[in-house]
C-alpha cells in the first residue's frame, strides 16, 4: 500500500512538473509570436516619439499618423524613467551594458556586476539590442516586457518591435516622455500587450554571453 501511494505521489509530481514546463514553453512561444504593425514614414524628418509612463506605451508618430504603437516596460518608482523632452543622440544595434552582465569561465557562468566577478573570470555586459539613447545611460532597447514598471529607468521594448523602432527613428528624432499622452485615450486604447515576461523561462547564459540575443527577433516588416 505504501509503495503504491509513493508511486502515485511520484507520478503526480512528474505530471505537475511536465504540465508547468509545457505551459512555460507555450507561453514563451506566444511571447515570441507577438508583433505589432509598423509603417515607414513619408518624411523621416517629421517623425516624433511619445512615451506614456502610466500607460507603458510608445507612440511613433508622423504628424497625426501613428507609425508604430508599442507596449513597453518603464522604470520603477526607485529607478524611474526620466520625464521631459529629449532627442535620440546615439543608435547602436549591438549595445552591451557597461556595469552589469555575465561572468564566465569555461562552462561556468553567472550574473554579476563587473566589479564583483570572480578573479580570473571573463565578463560580458548585458545585451541591450537596438539601443536608442535619449539621455546619458538611458535608452530604448530590446528587453523583457512586463505589464508593470520593472526596468532600471530605460524603456524596454519587445524583441520583435525594437528593430522596427530602430528603423523608424534616427539620431535627432525628438522624444517626449510624460506620465500620460493624449494618444492614451484614442489610438492607445485596446492595444494588445505581449504575454507577461515575468513568469517566462529566461534564455540560457550562452544566449547573452554570445550574440544570440541580438538575433532573437523576427525579421522586421513594414506596411
Write a three-state SS string for 61-99. EECCEEEEEEEEECECCCCCCCCEEEECCEEECCCEEEE
Predicted local confidence at residue 70, as pLDDT:
98
User: Average pLDDT for residues 65-89, to the nearest whole number?
Assistant: 98
Closest by CA to 172, choosing from 92, 95, 90, 94, is 90
Sign of CA dihedral 180, 181, 182, 187: negative
Residue by residue, what is the 3-state secondary structure of 165-208? HHHHCCCCCEEEEECCCHHHHCCCCCCCCCCCCCCCCCCCHHHH
Mean pLDDT of the region 150-170 = 98
Q: What integer pLDDT is reported at residue 26 of this predicted model? A: 80
The mean pLDDT value for 155-161 works out to 98
18 sits in which H/E element = helix 2-33
Sheet holding 57-62, edge to edge: 84-87, 174-178, 47-52, 57-62, 65-73, 155-157, 138-142, 131-135, 90-92
* Cα dihedral: 147, 88, 188, 146 (round 10): -10
The string of pLDDT tens digits covering residues 23-59 is 556 889 999 999 999 999 999 999 999 999 999 999 9
Candidates 88, 58, 45, 46; CA nearest to 177 is 58
Res. 80: pLDDT tops 90: yes
pLDDT tens for residues 101-154? 999 999 999 999 999 999 999 999 999 999 999 999 999 999 999 999 999 999
- What does the mean pLDDT of the chain come to? 91
Q: Which residues pair with 194 in a beta bridge?
A: none
Q: How do the domains of the chain map onto residue ranges?
A: 42-215
**Confidence at 6, pLDDT banded by 50, 70, 90:** very low
CB 196 within 8 A of CB 101: no
Count of Cβ atoms closer than 10 Å to residue 65 Cβ: 12
Q: What is the pLDDT of residue 9?
A: 44
pLDDT at 74: 98
Comparing 15 with 137, which gets the higher pLDDT?
137
Per-residue pLDDT at 216:
96
Is it true that domain 42-215 has CATH number 2.60.120.1360? Answer: no
**Measured between alpha carbons, how far is residue 38 from residues 79, 163, 165, 167, 201 in Å?**
30, 11, 9, 10, 28
Q: Where is pLDDT greater, at 6 or 110?
A: 110
Instruction: Over range 67-77, report the average pLDDT.
Output: 98
* Predicted local confidence at residue 191, as pLDDT: 97
Which pairing describes strands 131-135 and 138-142: parallel, antiparallel, or unpaired? antiparallel
- Predicted pLDDT at 20: 44
Give the residue among 131, 98, 128 at the shortest CA–CA distance from 113.
98
Q: Report residue 105 as a C-alpha cell.
A: 569561465
63-74 average pLDDT score: 98
pLDDT at residue 23, rounded to an integer:
53
Amino acid at each position: 500500500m505504501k509503495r503504491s501511494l509513493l508511486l502515485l505521489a511520484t507520478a503526480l509530481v512528474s505530471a505537475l512538473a511536465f504540465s508547468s514546463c509545457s505551459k512555460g514553453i507555450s507561453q514563451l512561444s506566444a511571447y515570441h509570436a507577438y508583433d505589432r504593425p509598423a509603417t515607414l514614414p513619408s518624411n523621416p524628418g517629421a517623425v516624433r516619439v511619445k512615451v506614456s509612463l502610466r500607460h507603458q506605451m510608445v507612440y511613433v508618430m508622423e504628424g497625426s499618423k501613428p507609425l508604430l504603437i508599442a507596449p513597453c516596460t518603464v522604470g520603477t518608482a526607485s529607478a524611474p524613467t526620466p520625464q521631459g523632452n529629449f532627442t535620440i543622440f546615439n543608435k547602436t544595434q549591438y549595445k552591451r551594458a557597461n556595469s552589469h552582465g555575465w561572468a564566465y569561465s569555461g562552462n561556468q557562468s553567472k550574473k554579476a556586476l563587473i566589479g564583483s566577478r570572480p578573479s580570473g573570470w571573463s565578463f560580458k555586459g548585458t545585451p541591450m539590442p537596438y539601443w536608442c539613447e535619449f539621455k546619458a545611460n538611458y535608452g530604448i532597447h530590446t528587453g523583457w516586457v512586463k505589464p508593470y514598471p520593472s526596468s532600471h529607468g530605460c524603456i524596454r521594448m519587445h524583441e520583435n518591435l525594437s528593430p522596427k523602432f530602430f528603423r523608424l527613428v534616427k539620431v535627432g528624432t525628438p522624444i517626449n516622455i510624460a506620465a500620460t499622452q493624449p494618444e492614451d485615450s484614442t489610438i492607445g486604447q485596446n492595444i494588445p500587450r505581449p504575454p507577461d515576461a515575468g513568469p517566462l523561462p529566461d534564455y540560457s547564459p550562452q544566449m547573452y554571453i554570445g550574440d544570440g540575443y541580438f538575433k532573437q527577433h523576427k525579421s522586421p516588416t513594414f506596411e
